[in-house]
Amino acid sequence: MELKNRDEADGRSSLKGQVREFFDHQAATFERRAGLPEDCAREIARAVLEIGEARPRDLLAEIGPGTGQIGRWFSKEVRYVGIDLSVGMLREFRARLSDRVENRALVHADAQARWPLADGSTRVVFGSRAIHLLNHEHVASEMSRVSEARGATLIIGRVRREPQSLRARMAREMQERMRQRGFEGRGGEGQNRRLFEACSRRGAKIMDAVGVARWTVSASPKDSLDSWRSLVSLGGISVPFKLREEILMELEGWAERAFGSLDREFESEETYMLYPLRFI
């Protein structure tokens, strides 16, 4: 079964199992593949609290905190709850929190179901590289339910790459090959737009996007290929093993022609963006 059918009620539990397995499988190596520089992660946490106008004792919920790269840096003055489907990811996060447990809770739960948050309880909901994995109508409706009466902010975090960077070009080529075979990847601006529309319909105000951190990466085509080979899926969705190998072989050939060598390193800038929506 493909993850792209996630909105269908039938097979929901096996789909949930696949997503959980996918993230459990990569928990220990996630940061090697998708790590954020530590100073950037701290800055993102600071900016989320500022944009969300969080005050001491306010409740901040993070959806899909993963290994806690960002979650660990939220000030202890706010009450923090991280909600994640993957036990493996939460285990990594918990190990980090050992001496910082005050006002912190990590909950193993599926954010595609009712969020484990009381009605009207939450000041800020943050999701970094995770909200696009969820159904946008569900996120908008849960956000309306849990928002504090004096207002709340949903903040979506994602990494923006230069369109001509090696990683962006490799990802586009991969997505294109998936599309040719009938697989639709997730994420991207389209996904954001659908969520924004669903939130606007519930009265939320879309605020300006903010770039909060910037860093330089040096990457070769081989890095992207190795990283994809280390996963059990491609572009966030599961594809049969043979097909995955076929796509990666094709990509290898394309990259060799396009970049001259699989080992050649290219530098580019990446920006961490926050997209806030205010629920009043």
Ligand X SMILES: C[S@@+](CC[C@H](N)C(=O)[O-])C[C@H]1O[C@@H](n2cnc3c(N)ncnc32)[C@H](O)[C@@H]1O
- CA distances (Å), 178 to each of 38, 65, 239, 243, 248, in order? 33, 28, 9, 9, 10
Whether 197 and 248 have beta carbons less than 8 Å apart is answered as no
What's the min distance (Å) between Cβ of 66 and ligand X?
A: 3
By beta-carbon proximity to ligand X, the closer residue of 183 and 272 is 272
What's the min distance (Å) between Cβ of 68 and ligand X?
A: 8
Beta strands in the chain (DSSP E): 59-63, 79-84, 104-108, 124-128, 152-161, 205-206, 210-219, 266-279
By beta-carbon proximity to ligand X, the closer residue of 181 and 214 is 214
What's the min distance (Å) between Cβ of 236 and ligand X?
A: 8
| Strand-pair category, 266-279 with 205-206 | antiparallel
What's the min distance (Å) between Cβ of 112 and ligand X?
A: 4
3-state DSSP helix/strand/coil percent for the chain, to nearest 5?
A: 45, 20, 35
By beta-carbon proximity to ligand X, the closer residue of 44 and 170 is 44
By beta-carbon proximity to ligand X, the closer residue of 45 and 59 is 45
How far is the C-alpha of 280 from the C-alpha of 278, rounded, in Å? 6
How far is the C-alpha of 37 from the C-alpha of 214, rounded, in Å? 9
What's the min distance (Å) between Cβ of 69 and ligand X?
A: 4
| Strand-pair category, 152-161 with 205-206 | unpaired
Helices (H) and strands (E) in the chain, counts: 9, 8
What's the min distance (Å) between Cβ of 34 and ligand X?
A: 6
Q: Which residues contact 141 (CB under 8 A, 6 or more apart)?
A: 198, 202
What's the min distance (Å) between Cβ of 63 and ligand X?
A: 6
What's the min distance (Å) between Cβ of 216 and ligand X?
A: 19
By beta-carbon proximity to ligand X, the closer residue of 130 and 255 is 130
By beta-carbon proximity to ligand X, the closer residue of 139 and 255 is 139
By beta-carbon proximity to ligand X, the closer residue of 11 and 260 is 11
Radius of gyration of the chain (CA): 19
Closest CA to 107 of 119, 123, 89, 127: 89
Q: Which residues contact 23 (CB under 8 A, 6 or more apart)?
A: 30, 66, 84, 85, 86, 88, 89
Three-state DSSP at 152 gives strand
Q: What is the binding site for ligand X (CB under 6 A)? A: 19, 23, 64-66, 69, 83-86, 89, 110-112, 128-130, 133-134
By beta-carbon proximity to ligand X, the closer residue of 137 and 246 is 137
